[in-house]
Structure 1
Amino acid sequence: MPKSLYEAELSRLQSELVEMQEWVRSAGARIVVIFEGRDAAGKGGAIKRITEYLNPRVASVVALPAPTERQRTQWYFQRYVEHLPAAGEIRFFDRSWYNRAGVEKVMGYCTAEEHIRFLRQCPIFERMLIDDGIMLRKYWFSVSDKEQEKRFRSRLTDPMRQWKLSPTDVQSLARWEDYSRAKDEMFVHTDVQPARWNVVEAEDKRRARLNMIQHLLASIPYEPVERPTLELPERPPSTGYRRTERSLQLEVPDYAATLTSGGKRPPYRDPED
């Protein structure tokens, strides 16, 4: 997809996301959006574009680390419940409770019994969320093994993205079929009404982002919200206030003044884009 076309449409969709956010806030709606898929499938990039212009007090990202020892002894869904939205909030889960059906099963981080219990409880848990009024949307980003390896290799040499690779991520190359079987089994048990999976073909990141955002917007019954007209007040006459002398303050050095055009570096270009 041409970059100019992609950026123009992305900008339009982002303005619609802001409209949707205002409706969520004013209507007291609650939305949960789950992002799952292969490592390097483009989940993080999609979330970044979605949240770029949203109010972090309304829309926030949930990306939980590995559970603590205490959390390991809790009901599996318990640590996710505290991150669910209240009225007027949106939560984007960058990976979610589905860790148990994917990486935990494949890498042996959970027992077979825990995995089976998850597959049995998950549809019930999600139905409880929906019955309580939460709008739940689940997206699976699908990418081929060749494209995944290509993206991994680009991250090995890209200092801006090396942090995205972990030993567990690298193992997903050697365990491609194990992850495929785990995903298929997960879909059998959790791709059910009223919480179906929406599969995003993610070989082309630009297309994937546009397709996913448009689908999300179309699935939420939001309406334009009339905002109050704001006017800037006139400044009142001065009452004699004098600014504190700068010599008494600890100022940040003017590093920018030392820069010259000769040292200009080209802007960072994401090799995966």
Structure 2
Amino acid sequence: MKNERDEVERVDWLEAELADTLDEDYELELSEPALSEEIRKIYRKSHPPTIPRMDYFRTLLTLQSELIKLQDWVAYRKEKVVVIFEGRDAAGKGGVIKRITQRLNPRVVRVVALPAPSDREKTQWYFQRYVPHLPAGGEIVLFDRSWYNRSGVERVMGFATEDEVEQFFNDVPEFERMLVRSGIRLVKYWFSITDEEQQMRFLMRIHDPLKQWKLSPMDLQSRVRWEAYTKAKEETFARTNISEAPWFIVEANDKKRARLNCIDHLLRQIPYEDVPHEDISLPERIFNPDYERQVLPRELYVPSKY
């Protein structure tokens, strides 16, 4: 009987969360009114039907509930997890990171997206600026791009010499083995999209004033140097796909499927399980009959405009 009641409560919770998430999705869609209708038509034409919206959100919420279990297990067991997200510009890395962190505790799960190195950092050991961001016990760190900048954008754009790139390839396998030996669970994802898909996503960003900030001169150059990035990616896989930390490729032309596939795969990489939780009950409010609430000046309040 208890199991049936728990299942009913879980379904009720899922429906409530589904309604909230649908509202968020509609808000995102409505935030693109300036996007060219012609671009929309081309985009729809070039994409086969994706997962139905309701099926997508039901699956996403189920996976996110499992991510909460993973988070609780990591915190309880003082585990250390690093997840690397790499891929071409506009491949969808940020979208999946957002869905992973959406319902998690930022004190346990944090995102690291480092800017270009400063002049001082350029003189440091290459991995030095990443090390301070590695997790302590009970933490999960998601790297939105990582030390693989050296074999990717830095190499292709000429910010690193061939000697520096070669040194990186020699060092990174042992660096990652050190991380694993220290107790860090390291998972590496590459989000893969086609040439045509990246072009379409860039066009959508160019025509959408709310997304133009995502485009940098470096992103635009990546279109010009598509083949150079491909060669850099292939060598990176060949020289850094080690048994202790293998690469996993996420096919990302379909954003919804990419998010679900990646989260599902990530959950399968870590042997998390349910952990003990203390029963929570709401304490009674203390009522003081002699207390009189002060009336605050109206100018302190945000205007009720809506």
Could you state the TM-score of these two structures normalised by the residue count of structure 1?
A: 0.92
Q: Distance in 2 between matches of 1:160 and 1:215?
A: 31
Structure 1 match to 2:263: 213
- Identify which of 108, 117, 128 aligns with 1:78: 128
Once the 2 structures are TM-superposed, how far is the Cα of residue 193 of structure 1 from its aligned partner? 1.2
Unaligned segments of structure 2, at least 5 residues: 1-50
Pair 1:91 & 2:110 matched: no
Structure 2 match to 1:222: 272
Once the 2 structures are TM-superposed, how far is the Cα of residue 235 of structure 1 from its aligned partner? 1.8
CA deviation string 1:10-40 (max 9, x = no partner): 0100000001000000000000000000111
Unaligned segments of structure 1, at least 5 residues: 257-273
2:245 alignment partner, SS class: coil
Pair 1:38 & 2:96 matched: no
Q: Distance in 1 between matches of 2:136 and 2:182?
A: 11
Q: Distance in 1 between matches of 2:286 and 2:121?
A: 56
> Structure 2 counterpart of 1:73, which letter?
T
Once the 2 structures are TM-superposed, how far is the Cα of residue 236 of structure 1 from its aligned partner? 2.5
Once the 2 structures are TM-superposed, how far is the Cα of residue 244 of structure 1 from its aligned partner? 2.2
CA deviation string 1:22-62 (max 9, x = no partner): 00000000000000001111000000000000000000000
Task: Give the number of the structure whose residues are more often helix, by fraction.
Answer: 2
- Identify which of 192, 196, 204 aligns with 1:146: 196
Once the 2 structures are TM-superposed, how far is the Cα of residue 249 of structure 1 from its aligned partner? 6.2
Once the 2 structures are TM-superposed, how far is the Cα of residue 226 of structure 1 from its aligned partner? 2.4
CA deviation string 1:130-172 (max 9, x = no partner): 0010000000000000000000000001122111110100111
- Identify which of 166, 174, 184 aligns with 2:216: 166
- Identify which of 225, 249, 253 aligns with 1:203: 253
Q: Distance in 2 between matches of 1:235 and 1:252?
A: 27
Structure 2 match to 1:25: 75
Structure 2 match to 1:247: 297
Once the 2 structures are TM-superposed, how far is the Cα of residue 91 of structure 1 from its aligned partner? 0.1
Structure 2 match to 1:7: 57
Q: Distance in 1 between matches of 2:156 and 2:124?
A: 21
Q: Distance in 2 between matches of 1:175 and 1:97?
A: 20
2:150 alignment partner, SS class: helix
> Structure 2 counterpart of 1:79, which letter?
R
Once the 2 structures are TM-superposed, how far is the Cα of residue 120 of structure 1 from its aligned partner? 0.6
Q: Distance in 2 between matches of 1:64 and 1:243?
A: 47
Structure 2 match to 1:105: 155
- Identify which of 49, 60, 75 aligns with 2:110: 60
Once the 2 structures are TM-superposed, how far is the Cα of residue 237 of structure 1 from its aligned partner? 3.0
Pair 1:185 & 2:235 matched: yes
Q: Distance in 2 between matches of 1:221 and 1:254?
A: 49
* Identity across the alignment (%): 57
> Structure 2 counterpart of 1:148, which letter?
Q
The count of aligned residue pairs is: 256
> Structure 2 counterpart of 1:177, which letter?
E
Once the 2 structures are TM-superposed, how far is the Cα of residue 239 of structure 1 from its aligned partner? 4.8
Q: Distance in 2 between matches of 1:206 and 1:240?
A: 57
> Structure 1 counterpart of 2:198, which letter?
Q
Structure 2 match to 1:268: none
Query: What root-mean-square deviation, in Å, do the aligned CA atoms of Structure 1 and Structure 2 show?
Result: 1.0
Q: Distance in 1 between matches of 2:286 and 2:135?
A: 42
The 3 A distance-change label for structure 1 pair 239 and 70 is: farther
Structure 1 match to 2:37: none
Q: Distance in 2 between matches of 1:30 and 1:161?
A: 34
Once the 2 structures are TM-superposed, how far is the Cα of residue 234 of structure 1 from its aligned partner? 1.3
